[in-house]
Amino acid sequence: MGSLGSPCNETLSSEPQKTKRQKPNPLKSKPLQPSSLNSRPLVAESLAQQISDQIREIIVDGTLKADERLPTEDDLAKHFAVSRPTIREALKRLSAQNLIRSRRGPAGGTFVNQPSCEELSADVTTAAALLVSMGEVDISEVMEARREFEVVCARLAAERRLESELDVMAAEIEVQKQSTLPGAEFCASDVRFHRALADASHNPAIRLAMFSVIEALQSIEKLEKLRSRERGEIVKQHEKILKALRARDAEHAAAAVTEQIEYLLERFNVALGWTYVQRLVEREQAHDVPDQPGVTPTSAENSHR
């Protein structure tokens, strides 16, 4: 790894300083030395953010390996020429991203973390859900992605599925058949069914992608299931998927998944249209239109249109 560059204090101007790079030194079992970090000069923007970004880069690109120990706070503060609170803030940012962990005791310190698939999945699904709820990604786009990913999942699962994974899906179908099951629990069971399908593909990359598109639709899916979705149709579609997987029939499994995605998209459109109309009605009621001179409920309704 290259030299960290010239140390900087917390009142630096925005002009970068020139650095003299050194040849990379191989990492050993000893704690990582600050001089081994590959970094750029800091500017007086957000020092903690810049430090965390630079350390994050060399973790992500593999320069820093999992379980490798970072320099102490004092060493990092001296090297970057910043205060210890600034270093602590930078490390907090990295910890929040599950990139590092702290351990106390004689053999303690700050170490590069190795996030589990579950942790990474949680981060990805949260980001995907936010993008949908904020309107950055259209529902039809998410559904398109889900269709493509889940068709691949179904094909792979037909070849690779275990009996235990089929048992999980069968159990969720039984849960979904309960007539008194609350809408939120039906939705949770639906998610578990499709997660089990993704698990049955035995492909971690596809599994991670599938989790993100499944979770991205949950806030809208819960609304739609509670109001306009026919549960019986969904259960039938799940049974078709399970039957095809049991028979190791990849083509029929893919066809059943496609059928359900197309049905979901149609029902989502219905649900979203219903929600829009309801919001118009609520807005009209909140305005208390009849009390306004010269304005009738009919004219107010026309004005909203």
- Sequence-distant (≥ 6) Cβ neighbours of residue 305 within 8 angstroms: none
Separation between Cα atoms, residue 197 and residue 158, nearest integer Å: 10
Instruction: Return the domain boundaries, the chain.
Output: 1-114, 118-276
pLDDT digits (tens, 9 = 90+) for 227-274: 445 788 999 999 999 999 999 999 999 999 999 988 888 877 776 665
Distance, CA of 216 to CA of 113 (rounded, Å): 26
Question: Domain 1-114, what fold?
Answer: Arc Repressor Mutant, subunit A (1.10.10)
**pLDDT score at 3:** 37
Alpha helices in 201-249 (DSSP H): 204-216, 218-227, 231-246
Residues of the chain with pLDDT under 50: 1-7, 9-29, 223-228, 276, 289-305
Among 228, 294, 240, 237, residue whose Cα is nearest residue 267: 228
Q: What is the pLDDT of residues 190-220, one digit of tens each?
A: 989 999 999 999 998 888 888 877 776 665 5
Identical fold, 1-114 and 118-276: no
With tokens 């991205």, the residue in question is 216
State whether CATH 1.20.120.530 applies to domain 118-276.
yes
Tokens 């010239």 found at? 6
Phi-psi map region of 30: left, alpha, beta (phi>0 left; psi -120 to 50 alpha): beta
pLDDT of residue 64: 87
- Does pTM surpass 0.75? no
3-state helix, strand, coil in the chain (%, to 5): 65, 5, 30
- Read off the amino acid at residue 247: A
Neighbours of 247 (CB within 10 A): 11
Q: Burial level of 166, CB count in 10 A (0-12/13-18/19+)?
A: middle
> 302: number of CA atoms within 13 Å, CB side?
4
